[in-house]
A and B are shown apart, each in its own frame.
Chain A
Amino acid sequence: MSHNRIQKQLSAYLDDQLSPESRARVETHLSSCDECVEMLSDFQRNRQSIGALRHEAPPIAELVLPQLPDRGPVRRSFLPSIEEIRQWIFRPVMGGTFAVVSACLLFALVYFNLTPTSDDSLDLYLSEHTQYSVYYSTQSDGATDSIDSNGIPSATNVEDDTNFFLGVYLGD
């Protein structure tokens, strides 16, 4: 195993949190890598130094007890506190799950809104073409088979189309 990967395990090695195999691998590497030995011994020394900061506490009980007001039984809460909910949501695993679920929901929402059902498309088609039909029947005097300057089929075409699509949709 590489020096970098071993180095990442030194902390767990110090705390005896490795499997026997990993432990053996770390020890083999340590026998030939001064840098890792140095790091491990620094970790150990700092651990001892921080441990040495521990000392006898002042008499907290003596200071606190006279300040405690008398009270009856407290209300026991059965619901998780805000702090607990916050911790739960912000766990990395929960964060990931939350992100994936919201992405799926968003996708589903967009997907189902943009894929119209056949009835919708028929309604849409009819409403659009009725507008065109009304528009063109009032604008032109009818019977040309041409496309106008806007690229929109003129009234006669529209009516033919309507009949054709109606036939398709209604299975005629």
Chain B
Amino acid sequence: MYSILEEILPAVPLNTQVADTLTKEQEKDLVVRCQDGDKHAMEALILHYQQWVYNIAYGILGTREDASDMAQEVFLWLWENIGQFRFRSRFSTWLYRIVTNRCINVKDQKKRRQTDAMEIDDSQPWAPIDTETPEKSVLRLEQREILQKALTELKDDYRQVLVLREMQDLSYEELAEVIGCSVGRVKSKLHEARKALRELVLQFS
């Protein structure tokens, strides 16, 4: 057997899931209380989902500032519109769908504005978060820059599925619910997205 195979196998989940520590009943209770106007319940929901919402936004939008703005905007919207949640899916998947859709809309608008005004965007997308030793971070920086460039070039729906899977480790069933397609389609889309990203990374390397 190939030594590289041993490195790759078995498929280990990268991220431990935070959002699933709430049971369905706890989630429902919090949502109902929020709908009734209980700010403490809203606080609990925000504390529970802020990492997720922020990181999904960061993965799609690419800057910490945009991600922070988006996360705040989503929770403010949620406070006014939580009545729209009808308990037909998990609250988390509903919330992720709202976040990803809003991020993609914002990105579209930004793209349109940029091409309209020909303004140059000098903000660094997916800027490295420096918490490492200098030597390590130099090597990492190069890899990261390539990844950033590749992610910027990627189609929005590919980036969406990759962020939700690679960054947030959503299951195929959750992905299907968030994206609004079948599990079979998730499978093929994820493959296409990974292939597209790989080609871009190789191209920029």
Question: Using a CB–CB distance below 8 Å, which chain A residues touch chain B?
Answer: 8, 10-17, 27, 30-31, 37, 39-44, 46-51, 53-58, 60-61, 63-65, 67-78, 80-81, 83, 87-88, 90-93
Contact = CB atoms under 8 A, between A and B. Distances in A.
Contacts of A50: 59, 147, 151, 162-163, 166-167
Given A49-B144, A61-B47, A93-B182, A55 B68 contact: no
A92 B181 contact: yes
B181 A91 contact: yes
Main secondary structure of the interface of B (DSSP, over half): helix
Given A58-B54, A65-B46, A46 B37 contact: no
Contacts of A70: 37, 39
B167 A54 contact: yes
A15 B175 CA distance: 13
B10 interface: yes
Sorted from nearest, which 8 A-B pairs have the closest CB atoms?
A57-B54, A74-B83, A87-B180, A11-B191, A50-B166, A60-B50, A51-B14, A16-B11
Contacts of A56: 51
Contacts of A67: 72, 76
Contacts of B180: 87-88, 90-91
Given A46-B194, A74-B80, A87-B180, A41 B46 contact: no
Interface in B119-137: 126, 129
B75 A64 contact: yes
B96 interface: no
Contacts of A65: 39, 42-43, 46
Contacts of A71: 37, 79-80
Contact of A46 (B36, B39, B68, B166): B166
B2 A31 contact: yes
Given A57-B55, A61-B46, A74 B72 contact: no
A37 B2 contact: yes
Interface residues of B, number: 67
20 contacts: A11-B190, A12-B187, A17-B187, A37-B2, A37-B4, A46-B198, A48-B14, A54-B55, A55-B129, A57-B67, A58-B64, A60-B50, A60-B53, A60-B54, A65-B43, A74-B35, A74-B81, A75-B83, A91-B181, A91-B182
Main secondary structure of the interface of A (DSSP, over half): helix
Q: Residue among A13, A27, A39, A74 with the most chain B CB within 10 A?
A: A74
Given A57-B50, A92-B185, A93-B182, A49 B147 contact: yes
Given A60-B50, A75-B83, A17 B37 contact: no
Given A65-B39, A71-B37, A57 B72 contact: no
Given A11-B194, A77-B83, A92-B185, A64 B7 contact: no
Nearest to B34: A74
